[in-house]
Chains A and B, each alone.
Chain A
Amino acid sequence: MPGLITMDDLSNEEILSILDDAERLLPVAKGDHYLPLLQGKILGNLFFEPSTRTRMSFETAMKRLGGDVVNLGDVKTSSVVKGETLFDTIQMVDGYTDIIAMRHPRQGAAQYAQDAARVPILNGGDGAGHHPTQTMLDLFTIRQAHGRLEGLKVILAGDLRYGRTVHSLSHALTRFGCELIFASPELLKMPRDIVTDLNAHGANITETEDLLSTIDTADVVYMTRIQKERFADEDEYTKVAGAYKLHASNLDGCKESMIIMHPLPRVDEIHPSVDATRHARYFEQAFNGVVARMSLLCRLLNVEVPASIGGEA
């Protein structure tokens, strides 16, 4: 496996095996156990777009495993502003590092970087394209809560048009036979080519503008932010901003086991009143970014995660 560009790069068996490794790495991610599996390895963090959680969790994951990190830093002070191509940037960082985590505003940048590089590329988001490492931590969070991935009913809500997290996640959930409800304003519906692909893979999809009508039967509600930065026209953004606002009072008839997830940052789509409910999982989800990325780093660097860590079988 050269890198992770889209979820198509992983089979279901590989996904489950990476999640199993992540499970065992939890005490290391929490700092309860030091396990320098990646000592001597260097991760290149190339974030051409703002990132807090993805960049920091990659860095934390690498350091918890004894590895080191070099950062591109602020794009405004790098060679990128001098007009350097992505190809040239990758040639340089490829020589400095053992693996690269990358986020880029242009779609297809991760595949392009993988074609240009010798080291594995981990796609940390390419435009409105894919975000497979987010999907891995999302799957980890879902499995942690429900004990399985198969056959769940999942609502994906908000910006399904530009939201790369839901593009990657919907592909993965379809492969595990989940029922999907796409709840979005008309303007932000899931792109047709993605729906066509999902249907070709036997997806069970319902599209609606009404988030609340099916919430009482859902196992997972995955909220997303309406991303202002993806709109060229401010008026178009204003029309759909705040389309969905989930409040604790909306959750009365929900299943006890239902979890609410969000890739964060949130704006006003999840009211703080939800934070204290048993359903809120978005902060654990953000933490799970560390453990899922630890497991992915090991897998892509061909480092085996021990069957027993910290005395646990």
Chain B
Amino acid sequence: MSQEHNMRRVTAIRNGTVIDHIPAGQSMRVLEMLGINKGTSVPVSLVMNVPSKKMGTKDIIKVEDRELNQNELNRLALVAPDAHVAIIRAYSVAEKLTIELGEEIVNVVRCTFSNCITSNLREPLAHRLKVFSRSPLELRCHYCGRPQDLDELANNVL
């Protein structure tokens, strides 16, 4: 099945953001990380488990009338670091954005360990998670050093 066919599973969008190459099954977490939920009013299309030459299977999300900003991209790096992001304007790709998982993720999510010093949200220093391993993804808190529960991180978005 061709790449083109995958993209046509849902209607082409006029303006907005297409997130492609999301690891299969991760699209729901991507939506959570982006804060897209039942309160979201713009149209959102989601395709799961479609064939991919590069990944075997993958998920795709299309969000209409919304362009992801850098902060949102940083959040995406936590659950789909290799995803491709395209900003669509007037049915054409206006920009291709690259998600780069840096050495550290600062002030995007807070540590998932309940006894970490940063669990007191009145503490003013930045929330910092270090990238300990990229594949498989392992993040550790700069302060307490604990490995992060990636499933729980979506609940800790700042």
Contact = CB atoms under 8 A, between A and B. Distances in A.
Contacts of B96: none
Given A108-B141, A112-B118, A193 B124 contact: no
A26 B146 CA distance: 37
Contacts of B144: 106-108, 111, 126-127, 129
Given A6-B145, A112-B118, A193-B147, A107 B123 contact: no
Interface in B113-158: 113, 115-120, 122-125, 141-147
Interface string B104-118: 000000010101111
A87 interface: yes
A145 interface: no
Contact of A85 (B111, B119, B120, B141): B120
Given A85-B123, A85-B124, A87-B125, A111 B142 contact: yes
B147 A104 contact: no
Given A112-B117, A127-B115, A193 B146 contact: yes
Interface string A268-312: 000000000000000000000000000000000000000000000
Interface string A86-104: 1100000000000000001
A259 B147 CA distance: 34
Interface-centre pick from B119, B122, B141 (highest chain A CB count, 10 A): B122
A109 B142 CA distance: 11
A108 B118 contact: yes
Given A85-B120, A86-B117, A108 B125 contact: no
Interface in B16-39: none
A42 interface: no
A120 to B, nearest CB: 17
Contacts of B118: 108, 112
Interface in A96-142: 104-109, 111-112, 115-116, 126-129
A107 B143 CA distance: 8
B125 A107 contact: no
Contact of B125 (A83, A106, A116): A116
A193 B123 CA distance: 26
Contacts of A107: 113, 115-117, 143-146
A87 B145 contact: no
A85 B121 CA distance: 10
B113 A112 contact: no
Nearest to B128: A115
Nearest to B143: A108
Contacts of A193: 146-147
B119 A129 contact: no
Nearest to B124: A87
Contact of B123 (A6, A112, A129): A112
18 contacts: A85-B124, A86-B117, A86-B120, A87-B123, A87-B124, A106-B144, A107-B115, A107-B117, A107-B143, A107-B145, A108-B116, A108-B118, A108-B142, A108-B143, A126-B117, A126-B144, A127-B115, A127-B144
Interface of A: 6, 83, 85-87, 104-109, 111-112, 115-116, 126-129, 193
Given A104-B117, A112-B118, A126-B144, 19 more contacts: A6-B145, A85-B124, A86-B120, A87-B125, A105-B115, A106-B115, A106-B117, A107-B116, A107-B144, A107-B146, A108-B117, A108-B142, A108-B145, A109-B143, A115-B143, A127-B144, A128-B115, A129-B144, A193-B147
**Top-6 shortest CB links A-B:** A108-B143, A108-B144, A107-B144, A106-B117, A108-B117, A109-B117
